[in-house]
Amino acid sequence: MKHTLLELNQFLKRIVVANLPEPIWVTCEIMQIGNSRGHYYIDLIEKDEITQQIVAQSQAVMWSGTYYRLKKKIGANFNNLLQSGIQVMVQVKVDFSERYGLKLVIENMDPAYTLGQMEMQRQATIEQLKKEKLLVKNSQLTLPKIPQRIAVISSVKAAGLQDFLEELTNNQYGYDIKYRLFEAAMQGQFSEKEIVGALQNIDLQKRDFDAVVLIRGGGSKLDLSGFDSLRLCQTLANFPLPILTGIGHEIDESISDLVAHTSLKTPTAVATFLVERFLNYELEISQLYQLIQQETQSVLNRNNQFLEQIEQNVKYATKTKLFNTERMVDYIDNEIPKLVKSRLRMASSQLALIEKTVELLNPETMLKRGFSMVTKDGKIITSKKLLNKNDIIETHFADGKVDARVL
């Protein structure tokens, strides 16, 4: 039996109408979304939990009337639900057209499901970071006391960027803190890729910076969901420079805040934190200067006291020395004449003794006492070994001399 395409599609339409007469709730992920004349055309997908491969895909539409009704009902978070990569629970009317095929018409959305899925993913990400020991890795880096060169990651349109720059550059103390902006999307499907890209760019120039500041400036949980990305948080945790965050959570912390070196509530708070480090360093230097002055004055005082003591000791020693010298001079003045006289008497006695000794040792005196002296050729002979046979010698007596020959 042959059928036309129209007949086949009419048959399929009757099956859909018969089996799915009422809207049904479907859980899925938004892959792409487009807007035309107020209508939203959305590609919905489902992925395998293990392989993350797409296992199902359908086209859906949200008519403009439904969009405005849901926006009014859900509030500010509604536009954040309509983002690529967001898990959603939607109530759809299954429609089958003979010409256009199957289409899901979105009639309602459950934001609680999306938030619940986000929280489950958040907890899984935290557990994975714990397993990899990354939650405290960046906080173990040393942040310089005065971080003077800051790499700033933010969007030019971010609400808190201007507040951060105003506080940083126009601080009341006049501190000169250098910064360079690395632009990246702070929300939406490209935020993870662009922030990671900015970090990779900074990593190539890491010697030019002391720290990295990641700032946004507030938003809802859905706005800031990108900061819970596992890849982004792994990159932040492993980054070689300290990461400071001022994403803008007033109540909750993003996972990026958890892995950062220092997490502050707002961009302005980050700028204030940096300025206060300069102020604290200046106060520390001022205190050290005061301590040095005090210690210097203390050393000078001790040295002055020591010098005064030395001066007193020198004066006393000088007086004592002068007194002893004067006494010595008086003693010498009294004793020298006595010593001179004594030495003269001793010298006279010694001279008399020497004269007497010399007189006694005079050869003439010896000859007069009966001694004789033998000479040969004018030299005194003191030993017979000095004489040879037939030598002519002279024998001296007190009254003359005689010549003799040695036999």
Dump pLDDT digits (tens) for 57-89.
999 999 999 999 998 888 766 877 888 878 888
Annotate 178-194 with DSSP letters as a single string.
EEEEEE--SSSTTHHHH
The yes-or-no verdict on residue 52 having pLDDT over 90 is no
* Sequence ranges of the chain with CATH classification 2.40.50.140: 5-109
Higher pLDDT, 217 or 15: 15
Alpha carbon 103 to its chain's center: 60
> Whose structure tokens read 């018409």?
105
How is domain 121-280 classified at the CATH fold level? Answer: Rossmann fold (3.40.50)
Q: Is 143 helix (H, G, I), strand (E, B) or coil?
A: coil
Q: How confident is the model at residue 208 (pLDDT cuts 50, 70, 90)?
A: very high
Pairing of strands 39-47, 24-36: antiparallel
Q: How many CB atoms lie within 10 A of CB 188?
A: 14
Q: What percent of the chain has pLDDT over 70?
A: 97
* Sequence ranges of the chain with CATH classification 3.40.50.2300: 121-280
Q: What percent of the chain has pLDDT over 90?
A: 37
pLDDT in tens, 83-123: 887 888 899 999 988 888 889 999 999 887 877 777 778 88
What values do phi and psi take at 193, rounded to 5? -60, -45
The yes-or-no verdict on residue 315 having pLDDT over 80 is yes
Are the CB atoms for 30 and 85 separated by under 8 Å? Answer: yes
What values do phi and psi take at 389, rounded to 5? -60, 135
pTM, 2 dp: 0.57
Strand (E) or helix (H) holding 211: strand 211-215
pLDDT in tens, 227-253: 888 999 999 999 999 999 998 765 667
Rounded Cα–Cα distance for residues 292 and 286 (Å): 10
Strand (E) or helix (H) holding 105: strand 101-109
- Superfamily assignment of 5-109 in CATH? Nucleic acid-binding proteins (2.40.50.140)
> Whose structure tokens read 């210097």?
296
* Residues facing 91 on adjacent strands: 25, 108
